[in-house]
Structure 1
């Protein structure tokens, strides 16, 4: 059963990044267990959307952008959609790549100190480039399984050792409440979990693992299991962080206090290791997804070893390294990326729903009525949250 774990683990690795660890830690410190429901909702939405994307990729043997290109007949509308997708993914992933590398850099600083501060971005970027340049899909899959496994065990054990009270935990998990000042945290928790570029990544990678429609049940198992584990990690971070005394979070590494029940004085080292692992996995998956999107939008039909494919992810990584090495903080670009992703998720969810209901390409593997109902609820939620995040970002530009 566990040999059937595949691209779902890369999807989980993509959303368990420094942003997720930070957002979940701050949610736990500030609001205790009250926002666990937001993670549960996000994970269920992610499972539904990623299952549709993976099923589309398996049945059609196409990536998401390829399917859009094939199904949209009118040229002007097709190029408009592809332009929006390409722009949002490339710009968004480039902006967030600096954050991914920055999270890994914070991890190295915690482990080795700030002595080589200026070299850390180059070291992280070199790791990411090396793994993508020489690593096969199977090798990347194994690396991510190990890294996610270590993070999962650490945070889950830590969450148990904090001895959380069961009733407040269950209330936070199953009774949605938005406390005063917590709305933006809710948006952050959802935004770091339901990631638009993961839809493209999953649809493109599913055929690296499986070749036949007969494997659909394993595709679904992989999706639910891997994303479920990612959700448990996020919840465990919230539970562990809820034990941190309020008011003691001044820097990201103060979040290491949440690991002290398990690691004691070594908590800083293990938080550093976790941040490095989370940053590195996201620093690999974000440019990889962008390369797949560019490959489809431009119709290259290139392999992962093709110079055009490599040039996309290489450029994104180098920009991230450059931004941090020269102390350039792309705040405005990141804010624009948040707006772009806020617009992109509902658009991509609508297009994905349309595609998986097309009997022309999906045959009898189209959505059920229950899947359509659930997907429509997710689309409405993504529109509301997207608009809310856009208004919030525009208000602080």
Structure 2
């Protein structure tokens, strides 16, 4: 046994397996055909994909279309490609090392660095959960007229729903998430077809154009990118990629798992990118010229019933479908955010508490600042939307603290052996990480400048 294999064995002996209750719980067929094997490995990609179509993505994509028509469509596509690369590396880290990203960081950094990364990750998960709580609460308000504070409190019940689903089996969670994704896809595809978008405009927006780099367009492009690649998804994928039962002593099985996990991830992320593209196309086809009036979820909800904006197709039914899609998006991302909270808590600090308590703590930590904001700012839609924007800003700051260790580990032959990233993947990954970091910090600076002007 090599020194590296000994280190990995020590890590596995010291740590419980990542998400121990579901680790290796899904059987995969041996020597089966392509489609049957792909079906067995399909699921983790869907849980990851929901993070790329959460409520934080909605406003930027729809407003991007409403203000600049199809210009920023290429930005949505580029963001999707970067997501595929990052998630491929996260899944590979989990399958090869049998550790999630949090465990890998704990075992390969000193205590001060590990502590800082843990704090940043916990805050990033809190910021992610805040966005999902807000999206769910606003959807309940739009659909049923519930006060936003009440809607926020109801989202705590999601934790117990997830606990029940886990007891039924991890495949049940994957199935529900996929169903919700298909519901969101169906709703927005229907809305886009009704809006009759310009095919020529869509084709022209697929390739990047110089106008993207003009000041106002660039700001919104940064928002789209900043809301796309999220830190928690990388931790999540490195863990749930291990839910399939494979023989890690057989290199052929490991390679097969990597192959089909990558297929699953890419298919689901293509779907997420398509939904984000539909959001932008909907904004361009229905709301172009009204971008300044669409700064919040409530604005979008009401616009779909306003004949002066959604000309020709305005209907309360469309508004209701939009709110249902928003609720489904919030529920989906809630499930994955809660799972990630467990992964990080166990991976970084080995904290072992009952499953229901872990999940309840994760959710309550996120709910508290939302309730405080709702009380202080009057519980208005605008206040909630502002808090959602601030949460996305923090995710922009936290992203490098997750991407850099991931790229470093998966590019290292000491850690990954023969499965280390090829040079061309490493180059693309580092360029993406550096570029995203610069763009995200530019986004933070722009938002801070806007806040300074307001006050």
TM over 0.5: yes
Taking the aligned partners of 1:53 and 1:374, their CA distance within structure 2 comes to: 15
Deviation at 1:112, TM superposition (A): 1.8
The answer on 1:190 being equivalent to 2:225 is: yes
Deviation at 1:66, TM superposition (A): 1.1
Corresponding position of 1:280: 331
Corresponding position of 1:290: 341
Aligned counterpart in structure 2 of residue 369 of structure 1, from 418, 423, 431: 423
Deviation at 1:238, TM superposition (A): 0.6
Deviation at 1:45, TM superposition (A): 0.5
Aligned counterpart in structure 1 of residue 164 of structure 2, from 109, 124, 134: 134
Please report the TM-score for the alignment, with normalisation by the length of structure 2. Answer: 0.77
Corresponding position of 2:270: 228
- Paired residues for 1:300-339 under 5 Å: 300=351, 302=352, 306=355, 309-310=358-359, 312-319=361-368, 322-323=371-372, 326=375, 338=392
Whether the 8 Å contact between 2:75 and 2:208 is mirrored in structure 1 is no
- Paired residues for 1:210-225 under 5 Å: 210-212=245-247, 213=254, 214-225=256-267
Whether the 8 Å contact between 1:88 and 1:341 is mirrored in structure 2 is no
Taking the aligned partners of 1:321 and 1:211, their CA distance within structure 2 comes to: 42
The answer on 1:172 being equivalent to 2:205 is: yes
Deviation at 1:104, TM superposition (A): 1.2
Corresponding position of 2:251: none
Residues 167 and 243 (structure 1), Cα distance of their counterparts in 2 relative to 1, 3 Å cut? closer
Corresponding position of 1:55: 92
Taking the aligned partners of 2:426 and 2:295, their CA distance within structure 1 comes to: 44
Residues 276 and 262 (structure 1), Cα distance of their counterparts in 2 relative to 1, 3 Å cut? farther
Deviation at 1:336, TM superposition (A): 7.0
The answer on 1:113 being equivalent to 2:148 is: no
Corresponding position of 2:298: 253
Structure 1: unaligned runs, 5 residues or longer: 73-77
Aligned partner of residue 285 in structure 2, secondary structure: coil
Deviation at 1:327, TM superposition (A): 5.1
Q: Deviations over 1:192-212 (max 9, x none)?
A: 110011100110111123535
Structure 1 vs Structure 2 CA RMSD: 2.7
Residues 276 and 339 (structure 1), Cα distance of their counterparts in 2 relative to 1, 3 Å cut? closer
Residues 389 and 349 (structure 1), Cα distance of their counterparts in 2 relative to 1, 3 Å cut? same
Deviation at 1:298, TM superposition (A): 0.4
Q: Deviations over 1:280-324 (max 9, x none)?
A: 222332233122112111034x58x54663354243344256346
Structure 2: unaligned runs, 5 residues or longer: 1-34, 248-253, 378-382
Length, aligned pairs only: 388
Q: Deviations over 1:10-53 (max 9, x none)?
A: 11112311121122111111111111111111110010001000
Whether the 8 Å contact between 1:93 and 1:290 is mirrored in structure 2 is yes
Corresponding position of 1:98: 130
The answer on 1:389 being equivalent to 2:443 is: yes
Aligned partner of residue 286 in structure 2, secondary structure: coil
Taking the aligned partners of 1:109 and 1:335, their CA distance within structure 2 comes to: 19
Residues 46 and 258 (structure 1), Cα distance of their counterparts in 2 relative to 1, 3 Å cut? farther
Residues 175 and 27 (structure 1), Cα distance of their counterparts in 2 relative to 1, 3 Å cut? same
Corresponding position of 2:121: 89
Taking the aligned partners of 1:323 and 1:7, their CA distance within structure 2 comes to: 34
Whether the 8 Å contact between 2:102 and 2:348 is mirrored in structure 1 is yes
Deviation larger for 50-59 or 200-209:
200-209
Whether the 8 Å contact between 1:200 and 1:292 is mirrored in structure 2 is yes
Corresponding position of 1:75: none
Taking the aligned partners of 2:333 and 2:313, their CA distance within structure 1 comes to: 25
Deviation at 1:338, TM superposition (A): 4.8
Aligned counterpart in structure 1 of residue 432 of structure 2, from 370, 378, 384: 378
Deviation at 1:101, TM superposition (A): 1.4
Aligned counterpart in structure 1 of residue 411 of structure 2, from 354, 357, 360: 357
Whether the 8 Å contact between 1:40 and 1:231 is mirrored in structure 2 is yes
Deviation larger for 327-336 or 250-259:
327-336
Taking the aligned partners of 1:21 and 1:337, their CA distance within structure 2 comes to: 14
